[in-house]
Amino acid sequence: MSEPLTITTMRPREALLISILIVAVMGVTMIGFGWVPHISIVLVMCGLFAYGRFKGAGFDAMQKSMAEGVVSGIGAIYLFFYIGLLVAALMMSGAIPTLMYYGFDLISPHFFYISAFVLCSVIGISLGSGFTTCASAGVAFLGMTEAFDANPAIVAGAVVSGALFGDKMSPLSDTTTIAASIVGVDLFDHIRNMMFTTIPAWILTAVFLWLLTGNVADADLSNIAAMQQQLVASGLVHGYALLPFAVLIVLAVRKVNAIYTIIATIFTAIAVTYIHSSPTLGQLGGWFFSGYKPAEGLDLGTVGKLVSRGGMESMFFSQTIVILALSLGGLLQGLGVLPALLAGVTHLLTGVGRATAAAAATAFGINFLIGEQYLSLLLTGNTFKPLYERLNLHPRNLARTIEDSGTVINPLVPWGVYGVFLAGILGVPVVDYVPYAFFCYLSLILTLIYGFTGFTISRLPQEQREQAH
């Protein structure tokens, strides 16, 4: 593998100072001013352009470095198009609404906390969005806490844990796609590898929530029954509508390429759609671009917003931030910032445990300093990928580490994007639910344990080792 282009060199201390300034600028603009990450990244890039010129680097060379950064993650950009199509297809076919409908039957008045956790896990995987899961099922559960005589902080912790499990493990999730693509591994290979930390963390979370379960009242489940009725009224709930999910799971287990798997699932979903409805080709095209929309005149309440999802257009935010972040990573590589940082710590990172801890600490730190989930994945993945190759570690290890220390940590940060959103939508302060968001920090603890013990850590195949060196 050819080394990325480096157009200037610098010492580790200089690189560390620049990194601190970048984190400070992003933190102030995103947390203090409320800017979206795109604007903050562009501002940082403008500053790096000026610094590059000061160091004698030409704009063409810097632009080439940025282009190399984008090319390194071009798979994510393409994959987002297909994921947008997939979500729309799973909505129009009824696959996601049907899964949600049966998921509501999991609610038990006597195991309320576990019910909240399990249902939010199911909905999180089906939607691929922790935000949407918390804003829909999460709000419903918080609304029932008084009737159940339940602790709202524990309920919020269960909701967040389930939603982040889905956000982390769903092939529809943008964070999952970013983590896989930024290090160059197949999406479903990444998901399978994450099961080593995610499944034990999920089971332990369920056990802890079960231990916290006390006597609860026989609550009124009318809110949930109403949502089920709205799902049925949408005309999308059918047992056979789960067929696309079956195709998706079978092909993923058989290790079929993610793009091929998604395409096969989309065509299966289209076929299922025509069993219970007859959309025109014009409607299909509109849904695939702008997202599925239920027929006008249906009073679907909260469910109407849940099923109105998907489409290429819904992926534009994620795609543009990926392009800009990859460009920033390429520029930092070209200007010598990332190589200098690695050079300053490489002599310390001589083993799997230390490399895992360093990558986890970086993703964790970016979450707390900047409060941005995407950047914790993108910057950490870009920075540590060369180190993992040097240690002959398969990049899937890095992808899992940054998810376990990046994706699931953002909801625990009171000033983070996720934390601010959840505190507002759930009505529970972040510091109150943090002790009960077991899944989030159990994932981090397990990935560190695996790193230092070597358990489930995979090495590069011999041919890839030769290419890497």
Provide the total of helices (H) and of strands (E) in the chain, helices listed first. Answer: 26, 0
Q: What is the pLDDT of residue 105?
A: 77
3-state secondary structure at position 348: coil
Domain around 358? 12-72+316-428+439-468
Reduced to 3 states (helix: H, G, I; strand: E, B; else coil), residue 186 is coil
Distance from C-alpha of 232 to C-alpha of 419, rounded to nearest angstrom: 33
Q: Assess whether 130 and 57 both reside in one domain.
A: no
Pick from 68-77, 208-217, 399-408 the range whose average pLDDT is largest.
399-408
Q: Tell me the HSE value of 114 on the side-chain side, using a 13 A CA sphere.
A: 17
Residue 117 has pLDDT above 90, yes or no: yes
The pLDDT value given to residue 174: 84
- Same domain flag for 195 and 298: yes
The pLDDT value recorded for residue 401 is 96
260, 289, 314 — which closes off a domain? 314
Mark whether 53 and 197 lie in a shared domain. no
Note whether residue 1 is domain-resident.
no
Residues 353 and 215 in one domain: no
pLDDT (tens digit per residue) in 350-378:
789 999 999 999 889 888 766 678 878 88
Chain mean position to CA 61: 32
- The answer to whether residues 81 and 201 belong to one domain is yes
Within-domain flag for 2: no
Query: Would you place residue 221 in the very low, low, confident or very high pLDDT band (cuts 50, 70, 90)?
Result: low
- 282 alpha-carbon distance from chain centroid: 32
Number of domains in the chain: 2
The pLDDT score that the predictor gives to residue 451 is 94
Indicate whether 342 pLDDT > 60: yes
Shared domain for 178 and 123, answered yes or no, is yes
Using the predicted structure, report yes or no on whether residue 3 has a pLDDT greater than 50: no
